[in-house]
């Protein structure tokens, strides 16, 4: 058996092994890059938003996203409406002859175009960063943004109007401040306008999600290429990250890796060394390309695993395939979800596909009270080598992660529909979602596998078709 190389081995840490793990790697298909969406698509979105604003009686729409650290924003509304990746408040008058205005650059995130020049926006106002400690400028950012936006609205004749607001929880202090500055105006939540537009993806959007799924597949292939006994979870995660980001992926932190002897881990790498009997979960919950993301999940089995674990792996693969067989225009979402759980029921793991009654990993007690996570020492030599111990059993409840088999994917932080038993909507061409079957039984067995699907005019397309759904096998 290959000698395990521990991260604490200084000679190993100074060797070129880490950089050489991807030597000889080539994906088995060629990634197809996609250009940014054309300005015409953003113009069509703006037209649709203005039309819905007119029907709702809004005189102006305000869309907001806040900076939340590390060059990220709290939602995708601004990127969806005008392709702006920073924080800001976008002013959209309902009348088509009135120009858009963007109030932005009120955080210190160093993001300058390209990429990210806002589309269809004439005036961009730099509000500035405020605060005594960091900038030696008296004042608060929220107050400055509110003052700037309210002055602009008053100047444009919007001091006594109905204002539709598009944002999230971080928007509350901005809306409250504007309500004080514009007491004769009414503020009506309007994010549902854009949320409804997320249901069906245009051909251009489909191409971007397809590209994101290709990046995930390439990352999976790279992860499989480097996985062997002695390699760490950091190295597997890095291989995935390098392979997808060097081809155009936007971020390297939108996914998880979990390794232990039960397949029940799912988090960030911490220094686990791959060993015989390990089950590796690559939960690719987000690979992003030009703002659009795809989601897939794969398993890697190292050496010999138990018969129970083999059964769980096979059950979850069957669950995804059973659900996918029902994906077509006009099919009920609930039928897709229910089909995914047929293999669970046939094996006696579940008695029903009803999401309300299903046991799942994060379930509270049946009476609604919080569940105490079992306290028990769980040996983990890689964690203990770093001076820590695992003293609780995760997950607290056996079953799937959630009582569904998937959900919509497209852009981060939008509300999405779920693929579960209580969703009786019908599938339509242009819908994109992940189908992922999971089962975790603490200290026994675990699996999480899934593909990203697009509903086409006459069926379905598996966007993550370049890596097998079945677990990848690694000899110990």
Q: What is the pLDDT of residues 360-393, one digit of tens each?
A: 999 999 999 999 999 999 999 999 999 999 999 9
Distance, in Å, from the CA atom of 321 to the CA atom of 277, rounded to the nearest integer, reads: 26
- Residues of the chain within CATH 3.40.350.10 domain(s) are 39-197
pLDDT of residue 16: 74
Lowest mean pLDDT among 128-132, 245-249, 313-317, 324-328: 128-132
| pLDDT tens-place string over residues 398-409 | 999 999 999 999
With bands split at pLDDT 50, 70 and 90, how would you rate the model's confidence at 112? confident
| Across 50-68, average pLDDT | 97
Report the alpha-carbon distance of residue 357 to residue 360 in Å, rounded: 9
| pLDDT, average across residues 21-34 | 96
Query: Where does the pLDDT of residue 6 fall: very low under 50, low under 70, confident under 90, or very high at 90 and above?
Result: low
Alpha-helix runs per DSSP H in 184-250: 191-197, 203-226, 233-245
- pLDDT score, position 15: 63
Decide: 194 and 166 in contact? Cβ < 8 Å: yes
Q: Is the pLDDT confidence value at 69 over 90?
A: no
What is the per-residue pLDDT for 453?
A: 98
What is the predicted pLDDT for the residue at 115?
73
> What would be the CATH architecture of the domain defined by 200-474?
Alpha-Beta Complex (3.90)
Order of strands, sheet of 121-126, starting from the edge strand that comes earlier in the sequence: 121-126, 100-104, 88-93, 60-65, 162-166, 186-189
Q: d(Cα 189, Cα 280) in Å, to the nearest integer?
A: 43
In this prediction, residue 71 has a pLDDT band, given cuts at 50, 70 and 90, of confident
User: How confident is the model at residue 2, as a pLDDT?
Assistant: 42
pLDDT at 387: 96
Q: Is 19 exposed, middle or buried (0-12, 13-18, 19+ CB in 10 A)?
A: exposed
* Range scoring the smallest mean pLDDT among 18-22, 322-326, 328-332, 351-355: 18-22
Q: Is the pLDDT of residue 191 over 90?
A: yes
Neighbours of 476 (CB within 10 A): 14
Domain with CATH 3.90.230.10 in the chain: 200-474
What is the model's pTM?
A: 0.93
Query: pLDDT tens digit string along 229-247?
Result: 999 999 999 999 999 999 9
The architecture in CATH of the region 39-197 reads: 3-Layer(aba) Sandwich (3.40)
Name the token pair of 47: 């037209």
Residue 184's pLDDT is 98
Closest CA to 6 of 272, 302, 387, 281: 272
Cβ atoms of residues 194 and 77 within 8 Å = yes
Structure tokens belonging to residue 203: 């051909």
Averaged pLDDT score across all residues of the chain: 94
Q: How far apart are CA 417 and CA 196, in angstroms?
A: 11
């Amino acid at each position: 058996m290959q000698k395990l190389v521990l991260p604490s081995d200084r000679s190993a840490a100074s060797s070129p092994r880490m950089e050489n793990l991807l030597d000889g790697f080539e994906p088995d298909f060629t990634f197809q890059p996609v250009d940014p969406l054309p300005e015409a698509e953003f113009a069509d979105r703006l037209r649709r938003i203005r039309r819905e604003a007119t029907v709702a009686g809004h005189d102006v729409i305000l869309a907001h996203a806040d900076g939340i650290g590390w060059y990220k924003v709290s939602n995708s509304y601004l990127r969806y409406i005008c392709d702006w990746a920073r924080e800001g408040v976008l002013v959209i008058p309902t009348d088509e002859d009135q120009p858009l205005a963007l109030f932005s650059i009120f955080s210190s995130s160093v993001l300058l175009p390209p990429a990210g020049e806002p589309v269809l926006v004439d005036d961009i106002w730099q509000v500035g960063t405020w605060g005594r400690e960091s900038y030696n400028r008296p004042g608060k950012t929220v107050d400055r943004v509110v003052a700037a936006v309210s002055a602009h609205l008053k100047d444009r004749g919007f001091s006594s109007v109905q204002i539709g607001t598009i944002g999230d929880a971080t928007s509350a202090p901005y809306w409250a401040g504007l309500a004080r500055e514009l007491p004769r105006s009414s503020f009506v939540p309007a994010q549902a306008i854009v949320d409804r537009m997320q249901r069906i993806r245009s051909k251009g959007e489909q191409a971007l999600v397809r590209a994101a799924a290709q990046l995930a597949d390439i990352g999976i292939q790279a992860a499989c290429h480097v996985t062997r006994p002695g390699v760490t979870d950091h190295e597997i995660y890095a291989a995935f990250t390098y392979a997808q980001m060097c081809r155009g992926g936007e971020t390297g932190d939108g996914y998880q890796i979990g390794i232990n002897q039960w397949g029940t881990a799912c988090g960030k790498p911490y220094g686990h060394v791959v060993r015989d009997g390990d089950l590796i979960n690559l939960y690719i919950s987000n690979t992003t390309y030009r703002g659009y993301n795809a989601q897939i999940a794969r398993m890697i089995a190292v050496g010999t695993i138990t018969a129970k674990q083999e059964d769980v792996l096979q059950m979850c693969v069957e669950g995804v395939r059973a659900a996918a067989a029902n994906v077509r225009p006009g099919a009920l979402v609930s039928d897709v979800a229910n089909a995914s759980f047929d293999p669970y029921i046939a094996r006696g793991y579940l008695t029903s596909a009803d999401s309300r009654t299903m046991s799942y990993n994060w379930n509270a007690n049946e009476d609604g009270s919080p569940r105490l996570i079992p306290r028990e020492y769980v040996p983990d030599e890689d964690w203990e080598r770093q001076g820590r111990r695992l003293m609780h059993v995760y997950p607290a409840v056996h079953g799937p992660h959630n009582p569904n088999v998937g959900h919509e994917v497209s852009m981060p932080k939008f509300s999405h529909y779920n693929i579960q038993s209580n969703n009786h909507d019908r599938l339509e061409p242009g819908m994109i979602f992940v189908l992922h079957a999971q089962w975790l039984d603490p200290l026994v067995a675990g699996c999480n596998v899934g593909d990203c699907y697009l509903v086409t005019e006459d069926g379905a397309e598996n966007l993550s078709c370049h890596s097998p759904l079945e677990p990848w096998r690694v000899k110990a």
